[in-house]
């Protein structure tokens, strides 16, 4: 179903006890869109992504990815998704090449294909130290490797939680170029980030979530209204009413 949206979420809720981490989210992300999902800490971004990946079940609501219901066709959907989660999914005792090959084979690639793609991805992400174990990678290298792993099976939809966190400027530029290239070929990217300048530069559409609810959604131009920066909009939407109180002893 190529006309269906990449992500269609209806009335999505996740309750922990009587506290709603996600509280009735409706979201439609068209195919080929670079979508930014913003929110302050604890707003429900990671919980939403974890529900989209099937890692945690929603309390209620429905999720459709690439035109298929997540509840019924989980394995089929997972084959077409590339993931960069907030927590590390890297196996420390493998080398980068071994890890990429493993991920490729888990996604159904033939071994020779997985090895070849792993090699070229390591080149692309400048992770050529093939004998180095992942345990010895820096944080930025780990993020780059996680992104390389998300690409190996050529997915149609990327779900990324803070992919640029801890990555240096050169690495971040490389990652952005690769992601933009993926959007140009028709893939959809759903990304969370606290670096609003990056979101502003990359994303076509943005949704802002606060206290588990979507409080703004639209194209970048609609949100900014022509004059404001994304940061101004974000702070106005989620930070209204917050005042800075000086602490006497810190003066």
In angstroms, the CA 95 to CA 132 distance is 6
Which one of 11, 42, 55, 195 is in contact with another protein (CB under 8 A)?
55
Strands 34-38 and 205-210 come out as parallel
What minimum distance in Å lies between the beta carbon of 104 and another protein? 8
Candidate ranges 129-137, 160-168, 214-222, 236-244; the one touching another protein (CB under 8 A): 129-137
- Which two structure tokens, joined as six digits, stand for 59? 């309390």
From 27-35, 81-89, 186-194, 203-211, span contacting another protein (CB under 8 A): 81-89
For residues 14 and 205, which CB has a smaller minimum distance to another protein in the complex?
Answer: 14
Structure tokens, 57: 């079940």
**Chain center to CA of 120:** 23
Give the separation between CA 204 and CA 224, rounded to whole angstroms. 12
Which residues inside 196-235 make contact with another protein, applying CB under 8 A? none
54 lies in the site for another protein, by CB under 8 A: yes
C-beta of 36 vs 85, nearer to another protein: 85
Nearest to another protein of 123, 136 (CB atom): 136
- Listed in order, strand segments (DSSP E) in the chain are 7-16, 19-29, 34-38, 60-65, 68-69, 81-84, 157-161, 188-192, 205-210, 213-219
> Structure tokens of 86?
């907030």
Q: How far is the CB of 110 from another protein (least distance, A)?
A: 8
Could you say which of 28, 68, 133, 235 contacts another protein (CB under 8 A)? Answer: 133
**Residue length of the chain:** 251
Structure token digits, residue 237: 């939407």
Q: Which stretch binds another protein (CB under 8 A): 87-95, 117-125, 226-234, 237-245?
A: 87-95
Number of residues that bind another protein (CB under 8 A): 36
Q: Is 119 in the site for another protein (CB under 8 A)?
A: no
Give CA–CA dist 114/93, Å, rounded. 19
Does residue 118 bind another protein (CB under 8 A)?
no
How, if at all, do strands 34-38 and 188-192 pair? parallel
173: number of Cβ within 10 Å: 12
Q: Which is nearer to another protein, 52 or 223 (CB)?
A: 52
Q: How far is the CB of 165 from another protein (least distance, A)?
A: 15
Contact residues for another protein (CB under 8 A)?
A: 50, 53-57, 74-79, 83, 85, 87-94, 98, 101-103, 105-108, 111, 131-133, 135-136
């Amino acid at each position: 179903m190529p006309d269906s949206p990449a992500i269609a979420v209806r009335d999505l809720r996740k309750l922990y006890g009587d506290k709603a981490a996600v509280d009735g989210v409706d979201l439609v992300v068209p195919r080929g869109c670079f979508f930014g999902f913003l929110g302050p800490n604890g707003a429900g971004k990671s919980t939403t992504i974890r529900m989209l990946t099937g890692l945690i079940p929603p309390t209620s609501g429905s999720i459709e990815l690439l035109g298929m219901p997540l509840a019924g066709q989980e394995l089929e959907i997972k084959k077409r998704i590339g993931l960069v989660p907030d927590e590390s999914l890297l196996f420390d005792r493998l080398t980068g090449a071994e890890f990429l090959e493993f991920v490729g084979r888990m996604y159904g690639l033939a071994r020779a294909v997985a090895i070849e793609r792993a090699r070229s991805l390591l080149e692309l992400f400048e992770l050529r130290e093939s004998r180095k174990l992942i345990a010895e990678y820096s944080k930025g290298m780990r993020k780059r490797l996680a992104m390389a792993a998300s690409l190996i099976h050529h997915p149609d939809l990327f779900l990324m939680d803070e992919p640029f966190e801890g990555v240096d400027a050169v690495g971040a530029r490389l990652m952005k170029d690769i992601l933009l290239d993926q959007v140009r070929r028709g893939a959809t990217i759903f990304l969370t980030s606290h670096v609003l300048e990056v979101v502003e530069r990359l994303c076509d559409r943005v949704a802002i979530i606060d206290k588990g609810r979507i409080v703004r959604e639209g194209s970048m131009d609609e949100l900014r209204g022509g004059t404001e920066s994304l940061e101004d909009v974000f702070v106005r939407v989620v930070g209204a009413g917050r005042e800075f109180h000086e602490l006497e002893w810190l003066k």
